[in-house]
């Protein structure tokens, strides 16, 4: 008798305190927790879209008053994790049946391409893969010497020509060298600037047409802020397969990565954390979303 009474009583109480989640509840919790990103890193456009997604999921849901904040936070976490879950690329597996496996790295000057390529070479060699590098940035002064210095330090064969020579031809040479010497991977550095952006696009298209790379990687500097959207749109013209992010040792807030994942949904290959050759991580969305979890 008492048990039935108690159950009825609790039912009534929970109904009384239950209410619908309102848009204001969602905005309040969302912006309270993401203000830090608002001022720095995530594109406003993307934040607004995420907020809208949350509202579509939660608005009008009836729940006990005390549970509202928890449900909103859990939904935010779930949403962020879904956004960051763009997949990664298992490079070694992908390259199992292709020798050489050719990777071309694109990206603006200063994005960290040359440094990243040396790290990727080291990463592959640690896993018993042989590597050669193509110096296909034949435009920027000192770029070949910079790459040569890295290659000497990590003992990797560099295929190069003179400044001003055709980058597609340099990569073609490197592929031939790799074929003859049974090398697993060719990593190609490219120019991040030409006389005009149109020249740059044409040059990249030619590299792709002539060499048919197995993977086209766009290298992005995590310090560039909202310009990331324009950069990605620019390089998409050559058909980018995946992203790598550099300089996360300076800015690891990850807002940029959230923006790129939300808008472009391309896999992320590596995250790069400094000048040291070993400061490279394979992207893992579960680990990475940890920094956003409420
Ligand atoms: N702190 C830090 N600096 C980096 C990183 N990657 C590259 N750099 C530096 O950024 C500058 C541009 O890098 P570089 O590899 O030459 O870029 P590229 O022009 O795209 O080839 C250099 O001074 C690098 O030492 C990184 O992950 N962290
Ligand atoms: Mg370079």
- pLDDT per position as a tens digit, 130-182: 999 999 999 998 999 999 999 999 999 999 999 999 999 999 999 999 999 99
* Of 177 and 30, more confident: 177
Q: Residue 167: its pLDDT value, please?
A: 97
CA of 173 to the centre of ligand 1 (A): 26
pLDDT of 36 > 70? The answer is: no
- Residue with the bigger pLDDT between 33 and 287: it is 287
Looking only at the bridges linking them, the beta strands covering 62-64 and 18-20 are antiparallel
Please give the pLDDT value at position 244.
97
- 120 pLDDT exceeds 60? yes
Closest CA to 215 of 88, 125, 114: 88
Q: Which domains does the chain have, with CATH numbers?
A: 2-84 (1.20.120.140), 91-283 (3.40.50.300)
Reported confidence tier of residue 6, pLDDT bands at 50, 70, 90: low
User: Which whole number is the average pLDDT over 268-294?
Assistant: 91
- In this predicted structure, the answer to whether residue 262 has a pLDDT above a threshold of 70 is yes
**Ligand 2 mean position to 270 CA, how many Å?**
17
Residue 272 CA: nearest ligand 1 atom is: 27
> In this predicted structure, what is the pLDDT of residue 5?
61
pLDDT reading at 37 higher than 80:
no
Least confident segment among 75-89, 92-106, 237-251? 75-89
CA distances from 208 to 42, 176, 185, 187, 267 (A): 31, 16, 16, 13, 19
pLDDT band at residue 48 under the 50/70/90 scheme: confident
Helices (H), the chain: 2-17, 23-40, 44-58, 68-84, 91-94, 113-126, 143-154, 167-180, 197-211, 227-235, 255-264, 285-289
On the question of a cis peptide bond just before residue 100, with omega within 30 degrees of 0, the verdict is yes
Among all ligands shown, which has an atom nearest to the Cα of 147? Answer: 2
Ligand 1 site, CB within 6 A: 107, 109-115, 192, 246-247, 249-250, 272-275
Note residues around ion ligand 2 (Cβ under 5 angstroms). 113-114, 143
pLDDT above 70 coverage of the chain, percent: 93
Higher pLDDT, 160 or 193: 160
Per-residue pLDDT at 88? 80
- Residue 3 pLDDT grade (very low, low, confident, very high; cuts 50, 70, 90): low
Q: What is the mean pLDDT of the chain?
A: 91
Q: In the predicted model, is pLDDT for residue 10 greater than 70?
A: no
Q: Which of 110, 115, 222, 224 for a ligand 1 pocket mutation test, highest count of atoms within 8 Å of Cβ?
A: 115
**CA angle, 226 then 244 then 165, to 5°:** 100
Confidence band (pLDDT; 50, 70, 90) for 38? low
Calpha distance 242→108 (Å, rounded): 15
Strand partners, 131: 185
């Amino acid at each position: 008798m008492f048990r039935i009474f108690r159950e009825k009583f609790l039912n009534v109480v929970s109904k009384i305190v239950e209410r619908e989640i309102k848009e204001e509840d969602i905005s309040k919790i969302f912006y309270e927790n993401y203000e830090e990103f608002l001022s720095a890193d995530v594109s406003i456009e993307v934040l607004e879209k995420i907020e809208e997604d949350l509202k579509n999921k939660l608005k009008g849901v009836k729940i006990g008053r005390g549970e509202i904040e928890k449900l909103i936070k859990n939904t935010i976490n779930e949403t962020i994790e879904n956004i960051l879950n763009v997949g990664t690329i298992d490079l070694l597996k992908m390259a199992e049946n292709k020798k050489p496996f050719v990777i071309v790295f694109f990206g603006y000057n200063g994005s960290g391409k040359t440094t990243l390529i040396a790290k990727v070479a080291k990463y592959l060699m640690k896993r018993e893969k042989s590597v050669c590098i193509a110096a296909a940035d034949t435009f920027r002064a000192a770029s070949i010497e910079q790459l040569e210095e890295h290659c000497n330090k990590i003992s990797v064969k560099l295929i190069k020509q003179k400044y001003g020579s055709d980058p597609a031809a340099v990569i073609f040479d490197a592929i031939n060298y790799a074929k003859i010497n049974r090398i697993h991977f060719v990593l190609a550095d490219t120019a991040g600037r030409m006389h005009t952006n149109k020249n740059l696009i044409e040059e990249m298209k030619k590299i792709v047409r002539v060499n048919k790379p197995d993977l086209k990687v766009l290298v992005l500097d995590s310090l560039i802020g909202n310009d990331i959207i324009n950069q990605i749109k620019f390089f998409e013209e050559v058909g980018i397969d995946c992203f790598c992010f550099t300089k996360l040792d300076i800015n690891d807030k990850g807002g940029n990565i959230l923006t790129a994942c939300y808008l472009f949904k391309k896999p992320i290959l590596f995250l790069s954390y400094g000048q040291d050759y070993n400061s490279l991580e394979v992207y893992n969305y579960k680990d990475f979303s940890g920094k956003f979890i409420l």
